[in-house]
Each structure stands twice: as C-alpha cells, then as structure tokens.
Structure 1
Amino acid sequence: LRRPPPAEVMEPSPSEKDRRLSETWHPPCCCGPKPCCFCWCCCSSCSSNRRSLWRSPRPSRLQRLRSNSSPRSPVPAPRLTLEEASSWKRSFDCVLVSPAGRSVFMEFLRTEHSDENMAFWLACEDLKREQSQEQVCEKAKKIYLDYISILSPKEVSIDAAVREAINSSLARPSACMFDEAQAQVYALMHRDSYPRFLNSPLYKSLEQRLSALTCDT
C-alpha cells in the first residue's frame, strides 16, 4: 500500500503564536492567593518575587573575563601626607575640614561604637548646603528618623529641650533645624572622642607609616 505523502508542516503566524502564548501563559501571583494591598510589606514581597522570576541568566566565565578586562578610568584618590595627618593635632576643626581626617576619625569612632555622632554631624552639614526645599524636607525627615528619634538604634545624645525644639519644627522643616543638636554633638566629640583619637593606636600607627614613607622618599 502506498502511503499518502506527509502533510506539510505549516509554521504558525506571529499572531497565532501570540494567541497560543496568551492561552497557555498565566502571570505569576505576586503575593500568594491574596491580592496585593499595596502596603510596604506586600510591595516588597512583590518586587522580590518578580526579581527572582525574571532574573537574567548568570553570565558565562568568558563574559565575566571580558567584562573584567574592559578598560576603566580609575579615579585617583588623594594621597595623605604626614604634614596633613600631623595637622590634626592642632585642633578638632583640622580633622573635620580634611576629607582624610574625617574618614580616619570615623574609623576610630566605629571602634568605640559612637560613629553615629560623626554621621549625624556630616548629615547636618549636607542639609545646610541643600537649596531645594523639597530636598530639605526629605533630608530633614531622614536625619530625624536616623539620629533624633528615640526609636532609632543610632540616636545621638542631646538635651531634652533641644529634642523638643526639633519635634516642634517638624511641621515646617528647615536647613538649620538641627543646628543646636549638631553643636551639642560637636562639643561631645571635641571633648571626649577627639583626645582619645589622638592617643589611639590607630592614629599613632598612621603617623608612623606616613613618617616611614616620608623618610624613604
């Protein structure tokens, strides 16, 4: 018996492919059986699920090597000199005006678990440079939640009267609303942390290394 020739397989049109895909594909449920209520917890869960479902495949080893070998423009870091490090002994302000000084002092404060003082002081300086009122409101709220609120783990030590004055100014935030609190934190660092910093092994070893480098050159 002669069999009939096989029927020619027709490639489905793009519209037919889309129709079949729409019939077989179902969007993933973001938050389980319950619809998303758009609260912070649900939205965080939704975005996490979407990231896991649509995560792009990991790059191959060759792709990673190519990306690592691509030329990059390095940003040169300013070199700390012995003269600059020694100038920090003159006054606490010499530490604060030096980018390297602020970085090293912050590292020291971390060893004493009091780095929130320096972080708060820097945040206040950044707030006072802000020109946009919208940004002032956002940054002031963040500073309050991070360093003034009694619920924050990074709460700084300030007087109750100063804290109450800040609470009263929350309705109309300004770039100078934390000035009194910043002054108190400055005085605390100047009086307590700064002398210990100058006598710390961290600062003394830094001076020794810079002195050795100066002698070698």
Structure 2
Amino acid sequence: MPRSLSGVDMRKRQQPHIEGPPQVPGHPRPKNCCMCWCGCCKCLWQPTLDEVVAWARSFELVMRSSEGREIFREFLRSEYSEENLLFWLACEELKKETDPTAIDEKARIIYEDYVSILSPKEVSLDSRVREGINLSLAEPSNMMYEEAQLQIYTLMHRDSYPRFLNSSVYRDLLDSKRSSCLDT
C-alpha cells in the first residue's frame, strides 16, 4: 500500500521541477533554470534574443517557455501577484494527474493555497467560479479548476502582461540580449 503524503510533501511535489542540462566544465551556473521551489536546479539558463523578442509578440509564448515563465514570475513577484502564476502552474500539474488519491490531495492543497478566502495567496476569482469550485470539492477531478485557471490566465494576459513588457525586468533582459549580440 502506498504511503500517504503529508500536506508539506504534496506542496513540495506540487511545484514544477524541470531538470536542466548538465553543467558545462568551466562555465558557472548563474541562475535557477526553472520554477523549482527549492532552487536546486542550476543550469546554463539563457534564452536567446529571438526568444526574448518573441515574448513581446505573444503571452502564450511566455507561458510555454520555462525561461519566459521564470522572468514573468520575477516580474509578478515585484508586483505582489506571483500567486496568479503559481496557481496556474499548480492547475497544470493537477491536470496531468491520474491517481484519484493524488487528485484529491492536490485539489485540496490548491484550494487551501489559492482559493480559500483564508489564504494569504488567494487569487481573484468571481463568485460564480468560486461557488463551482466549492461544489466540486465533494468529488474533485483533475479538471475542476479549469474555469478558474482560464480566469487567472486571462487576468495575467490582459493586466500583468502589458506591464511586464514595459517593466525593467523585461527591458533589462532585452537590452542585455541585444548588447551581447552586438558584442559577438
């Protein structure tokens, strides 16, 4: 019989973890490469100039790129709205889950961390969507947060993304990529 995971263990497992490439001898590992909660991944994380420029054309490209999400997350952190991206990522992980016990646990953790009005990381959802989630908690599914996730994605796309493109976080990265291309 599988060992039950505690809430803390599930929170650790809930955070996306993407292994980076092996370290290249003689090259330092300057940054966390991914959204790993513990910062254990240290790879040669370097988006290209083309990737950084493409992020300005499409929010979807930002969200599909682990590097784009990390830069966007840094920006959201500066605006005290990082929980929106964390909620979206947690919902993506829940969608991939097939084990009913893990679905129940992850759904409960997402609720406690991002939907509950008692959570310090509560995301902004309308009352209709929130009520639907409350009803779904009786029999959680891996898709139960789909409408809430879309609402938060739309919020980030319409509200945060335009500010991100004008932020020093994005502009400084773009300028550094442009200048490094001129230096080569």
Q: Normalising by structure 1, what TM-score?
A: 0.65
What whole-Å deviation, never above 9, does each CA across 1:165-212 have from its counterpart, x for those lacking one? Answer: 111111110011001111110111011100000011111110011111
Aligned to 1:201: 168
Q: Secondary structure at the match of 2:101?
A: helix
Output the CA distance in 1 between the equivalents of 2:96 and 2:181: 37
Which residue number in structure 2 is paired with residue 158 of structure 1?
A: 125
Corresponding residue for residue 54 of structure 1? none
1:103 matched to 2:79 = no
Instruction: Summarize the alignment of residues 25-64 of structure 1 with structure 2, pairs less than 5 Å apart.
Output: none
- Residue matched to 1:84: 51
**5 Å matches for 1:76-155?**
76-155=43-122
| Structure 1 counterpart SS, 2:142 | coil
Q: After superposition, what is the alpha-carbon deviation per residue over 1:35-94, rounded to whole angstroms, capped at 9, x for unaligned? A: xxxxxxxxxxxxxxxxxxxxxxxxxxxxxxxxxxxxxx7464342111111110111101
2:32 alignment partner in structure 1: none
Could you tell me how far apart the structure 2 residues matched to 1:169 and 1:201 are? 41
| TM-fit CA distance, 1:149 | 0.4
TM-score by length of 2: 0.76
CA RMSD of aligned residues (A): 1.2
In the alignment, structure 1 segments of 5+ residues that lack a partner are: 1-72
TM superposition shift of 1:130 = 1.1
What code does the residue aligned with 2:142 have? Answer: A
Cα distance in 2 for partners of 1:109, 1:78 equals: 20
The more displaced of 159-168 and 73-82 is 73-82
> Structure 1 residue 212 and structure 2 residue 145: aligned?
no
CA distance in 2 between counterparts of 1:200 and 1:76 reads 25
Percent sequence identity over aligned pairs:
54
In 2, distance between residues paired with 1:141 and 1:76?
33
Query: Partners in 2 of 1:169 and 1:205 — Cα distance?
Result: 43
For residues 198 and 173 of structure 1, the distance between their equivalents in structure 2, rounded to whole angstroms, comes to 37
Structure 2 equivalent of residue 188 of structure 1: 155
The alignment partner of 1:186 has SS state of: helix
CA distance in 2, matches of 1:92, 1:165: 27
User: What amino acid sits opposite 1:193 in the alignment?
Assistant: S
Counterparts of 2:163 and 2:102 in 1: how far apart (Å)? 36
> Structure 2: which 5+ residue stretches go unaligned?
1-21, 24-41
Distance 1:129 1:193 in 2: 26
